[in-house]
Structure 1
């Protein structure tokens, strides 16, 4: 098993690093692409192939990130008593929820008045860690079965008549299971955007925790390779079967478009909000196969990529603040008035981000590459600092 250090598994860090790099592309597109706030890049009828696949390939980021968080939870718990492991997961989960609200939201919006709270992947991971912490004292089988039920079964709610979303019960259903990205206002100024429903992502984390048993110390590498191969292939094939049958596993069925190219785009356009069974199979199948391919990666590029994956939360927070600071500078240099930095009408209120602003896709890619290279150096510094220091707070960063 290749490792970056004596206690890290290289393939996990490399995949996490690739996820961080791809994720940065998606957020650069949000901040800097000319149509990011005006058009859906996944709409087969109105997108281009380049724009569609720029967005589509970033769909692999969140499922991989959450799955690997589950693997890390298992590896972190294997040498701790169940009570201690459960408490650590719960404390980390609470910290992540607070960090999403106070730190990540600020990086995304640059609004010091917090007129909108944005709840997405860190929020979902935080709650998932809390729930995993509560389950960890049961049994491995309970965690596995719960994960399968959540991932495979939550689309049954697509067929149910749920309470009205304006009621407390309806809001609870949305936040826990069915939110497609829902905005709630508690007064005329402040609102909450619940982008990630909690429990479908919890299911993915629970399955990641169970996958961790194949990465524990003393695990048979050959057995792990076969598990990754068979499971990754099975999930990918299951996605195709479910999509062709077109009955279950996604909130809306896919429909033929005008031409085979648009048909392919529609076929691949599955629900991320919340992550449907089809979406989860489409993304996690290739993710597991990627883990298999990365088992023996030792090249310089792999070590470079792994730096991003070794401190993912640090990089996640840092990249938002750096990208948004660059956006603010470009905004001011373009002559926009400082007083107009905030647009209360926007669904996602990126300050310093006018709706009719942005650059072409090639420029977006150039900004992305430049940002990743620039962010590598502070990320490498923190990774080395974390490896050589043992302060208690480093467990949470």
Structure 2
């Protein structure tokens, strides 16, 4: 049986927001490959970082949760055009497809290692697994899915209390679901996986997106949609500041005072992404909801550019990794490195020695040039998807 070819009607504000966070995402990945200190220091460590580096890393926190959240919204928009059974079958096949792409195409793009010794399970894997869960949840009323999403998002940090107990040992299933320890799970000799995105909190974020995606159905007015998005966004931001100030629940890393106000603020805002804590989710999705409301009528040139990237997120995601790594490889040889330097045991990426890199201002130039270079290919593919209806376009 052929996969279902869904209608690819677009929601303007969703595409603009998705495009914006895709642009920011490239900044983080460019920093990984080209910043001189990317593998020698933590850009969020209050004791060693500086404001420009801290903000460069922190603003990219918005990318993964909003990406996953908007994926859930996109599933909600299928309702009314397809039956629940059709949507479920699509999510099942799409989820398995994304997991396959993660462990093959994406992992190779990251490492350029033809032996594929280490597979990194990241955001595409998290979306894939979330789709598999949502393939079951779509048969529930949207209110129930939203409720489950709130329960998981606000409740999963309860598990931190068990995880922090002396002698606690997480098994493989626990690490895949919630606790990231960068464990190398060997599948067969010399080959295995490392879980960067334990799936449970991401499933919760996906369900939140699915539930709030109801706001974009035709029977909901623009005024109502904006009011709910703004109210929910402000509520999440308020929850972040209140719970973070209390410093008891919502993040496995309590903040602490430092000798300077700047360092203390850095500590306060340094929330856990792996996996996304409640504080991380509130601090990123809250402003994301406000941006979604603001982009309802955004029609400027920058919004139009963001929309192009946001209309082809999977295409952009794949080619930007390969473009970054290919450029890194070219500069690797230009700077005089040789074949003996291709593999550095301190870095999982080939052609990226630990002492390779540039100052932060050069990273920004590379980032801007890369995003600009991808605009034409993304615009072409966006137009191709808009004017063609082959079934496989739903998977790319």
TM-score by shorter chain over 0.5:
yes
CA distance in 2, matches of 1:93, 1:365: 34
Counterparts in 2 of 1:6 and 1:115: CA distance versus 1, 3 Å? closer
- In the alignment, what sits opposite 1:329? 330
Counterparts in 2 of 1:257 and 1:328: CA distance versus 1, 3 Å? same
- In the alignment, what sits opposite 1:394? 393
Q: Classify the secondary structure of the residue corresponding to 2:49.
A: coil
Counterparts in 2 of 1:229 and 1:161: CA distance versus 1, 3 Å? closer
Using the TM superposition, give the Cα deviation of residue 79 of structure 1 relative to its aligned residue in structure 2, in angstroms. Answer: 1.6
Using the TM superposition, give the Cα deviation of residue 291 of structure 1 relative to its aligned residue in structure 2, in angstroms. Answer: 0.7
- In the alignment, what sits opposite 1:232? 233
2:35 is equivalent to residue 33 of structure 1: yes
8 A Cα contact 1:180 1:274, kept in partner: no
Q: Classify the secondary structure of the residue corresponding to 1:258.
A: coil
Q: Classify the secondary structure of the residue corresponding to 1:352.
A: coil
8 A Cα contact 2:162 2:168, kept in partner: no
2:49 is equivalent to residue 43 of structure 1: no
CA distance in 2, matches of 1:199, 1:392: 30
8 A Cα contact 1:66 1:125, kept in partner: yes
CA deviation string 1:331-372 (max 9, x = no partner): 1111111243123x33x5111000011000000000000001
- In the alignment, what sits opposite 1:108? 110
8 A Cα contact 2:142 2:210, kept in partner: no
CA distance in 2, matches of 1:221, 1:6: 21
- In the alignment, what sits opposite 2:99? 97
CA distance in 1, matches of 2:20, 2:134: 25
CA deviation string 1:286-336 (max 9, x = no partner): 000111111100112211111000000000000000110000000111111
8 A Cα contact 1:163 1:170, kept in partner: no
Q: Classify the secondary structure of the residue corresponding to 1:114.
A: coil
CA distance in 2, matches of 1:162, 1:233: 31
- In the alignment, what sits opposite 1:75? 77
CA distance in 2, matches of 1:270, 1:132: 27
Using the TM superposition, give the Cα deviation of residue 391 of structure 1 relative to its aligned residue in structure 2, in angstroms. Answer: 1.0
- In the alignment, what sits opposite 1:383? 382
Moved more, 76-85 or 178-187: 178-187
2:350 is equivalent to residue 351 of structure 1: yes
Q: Classify the secondary structure of the residue corresponding to 1:19.
A: helix
CA distance in 1, matches of 2:209, 2:109: 28
CA distance in 2, matches of 1:246, 1:162: 16
2:363 is equivalent to residue 364 of structure 1: yes
Q: Classify the secondary structure of the residue corresponding to 1:178.
A: coil
TM-score (ref. length: structure 1): 0.95
RMSD: 1.9
CA distance in 2, matches of 1:281, 1:116: 32
Counterparts in 2 of 1:255 and 1:158: CA distance versus 1, 3 Å? same
- In the alignment, what sits opposite 2:3? none
Q: Classify the secondary structure of the residue corresponding to 1:77.
A: coil
Using the TM superposition, give the Cα deviation of residue 142 of structure 1 relative to its aligned residue in structure 2, in angstroms. Answer: 2.6
Moved more, 20-29 or 76-85: 76-85
Gaps of 5+ in 2: 1-6
CA distance in 2, matches of 1:332, 1:85: 48
- In the alignment, what sits opposite 1:272? 273
CA distance in 1, matches of 2:388, 2:165: 50
Using the TM superposition, give the Cα deviation of residue 166 of structure 1 relative to its aligned residue in structure 2, in angstroms. Answer: 11
8 A Cα contact 1:71 1:209, kept in partner: yes
* Structure 1 runs of 4+ with >4 Å offset: 161-167
CA distance in 2, matches of 1:53, 1:208: 26
| 1:1-397 mapped onto 2 (5 Å cutoff) | 7-161=9-163, 170-186=171-187, 189-343=190-344, 345-346=345-346, 349-397=348-396
Using the TM superposition, give the Cα deviation of residue 181 of structure 1 relative to its aligned residue in structure 2, in angstroms. Answer: 4.0
Moved more, 199-208 or 140-149: 140-149
8 A Cα contact 2:142 2:214, kept in partner: no
CA distance in 2, matches of 1:113, 1:204: 34
- In the alignment, what sits opposite 2:4? none
Using the TM superposition, give the Cα deviation of residue 121 of structure 1 relative to its aligned residue in structure 2, in angstroms. Answer: 0.3
8 A Cα contact 2:146 2:212, kept in partner: no
